Structure 1
């Protein structure tokens, strides 16, 4: 295979990856070529910090492969998991349209391939291709809806229901079915579950341990499988059974 042929295959692969990103949904091939020309691709190992809370020099990021944990720290050092970013999702974009500083940390949980654009380049792309701006508004709307749902859960639901909802959301977004159930395809610590549900590690363990003993959940190689998602769904809707 010649060098030109290899480069052509790489270009096609990158084009397909960009087309799969939520920000560039329904873009024409010509527009995707412009997007690719301004993009910076990186392959990252596990446990790599992509950016830190408070950092400037902001870029808009998107994940092509892998999983990234977004977390915030308070002045007292307490950490909250804001979101898990999975394939096809944008992250780090809020700072582009606010104070120019990342509001959270981003760290890889697996090997990842990510792509990013500078603030100026993304603004140029939005100006030239209004579909990108519309997609961005839709993404922000979905994230706001997710945040509102989590605030409602924190205010009105007991911890076991919040944990059940969190596991079901993760299973829908990044799970795959197998003979055991639905496996969440990235490393998930009990502390992560506690953080994203606004509770303590002790409380999360107190709830998860009986579920594992009942055969509803199993963890192997840091991958959590919902063996009985129907039971988890029942708790999410009605509370502890």
Structure 2
């Protein structure tokens, strides 16, 4: 799973690396470090200054922001194929949140020194990375608005509608009500009640392996979405 050639193929598919010479991509691949994290292992802590760009080859992560009183908000889940930690690489600032493996996860660490050299030679790459960061900022602003303005039912409905699988959502082993509640800014008991209500209304079905959307139009209304 840690084959450099495999990483090279992945790099060739990245939008922000498109157009770079094969030799440049090979340089990035050969300078990268491979690490495997066990379930519940911390990839980096909030406050750490991490000088590598991360590429998640397989597995799943969660990005968590914690308060002084111990409460935690899951900011987002990271799936295989995603790049993260642009803040540490470009801004050279401490990480604003903690990254935790939800299952065994294989990650490539692309060092800042090599990345900076490539960016200096190919400025368009920096613009693509900044665009990627901007998308994540927009998602965080949306999350903040949802937590403030929408009910748990609306937030959960929107979460289901946003899944790329469509109307049949496969539940990963870690996708339990505790993790989903943390992401939605609520507690498992409240989420359980919402799931029961949506199930009773005939909008979804949920078991250990899947969540099925049965009435997308009505779920859109429950999510308080427009022009979805």
TM-score range, shorter chain: 0.7 to 0.9
Whole-Å separation in 2 of the counterparts to 1:61 and 1:176 = 28
Partner of 1:5: none
Q: 1:18-167 alignment to 2 at 5 Å?
A: 18-98=11-91, 100-167=93-160
The secondary structure found in structure 2 opposite 1:55 is: coil
Task: Give deviations 1:189-241, integer Å, cap 9, x for gaps.
Answer: 21222222222332222101333454713232xx54234261433422469xx
Name stretches of at least 5 consecutive residues in structure 2 with no aligned partner: none
Alignment equivalent of 2:193, drawn from 206, 211, 221: 206
Whole-Å separation in 2 of the counterparts to 1:147 and 1:25 = 26
Report if the CA contact (8 A) 1:27-1:131 is conserved.
no
The secondary structure found in structure 1 opposite 2:94 is: coil
TM-score by length of structure 1 reads 0.79
Q: 1:221-232 alignment to 2 at 5 Å?
A: 223-228=209-214, 230=216, 231-232=218-219
TM-score by length of structure 2 reads 0.83
Cα distance change of structure 1 residues 57 and 237 upon mapping to structure 2, 3 Å threshold: closer
Provide the alpha-carbon RMSD of the alignment: 2.6
CA drift at 1:79: 0.4
Cα distance change of structure 1 residues 227 and 37 upon mapping to structure 2, 3 Å threshold: same
Name stretches of at least 5 consecutive residues in structure 1 with no aligned partner: 1-9
The secondary structure found in structure 1 opposite 2:207 is: strand
Whole-Å separation in 2 of the counterparts to 1:186 and 1:132 = 36
Partner of 1:192: 179
CA drift at 1:11: 4.5
CA drift at 1:184: 4.5
Task: Give deviations 1:166-200, integer Å, cap 9, x for gaps.
Answer: 2222x22xx377xxx23244621212222222223
CA drift at 1:15: 1.4
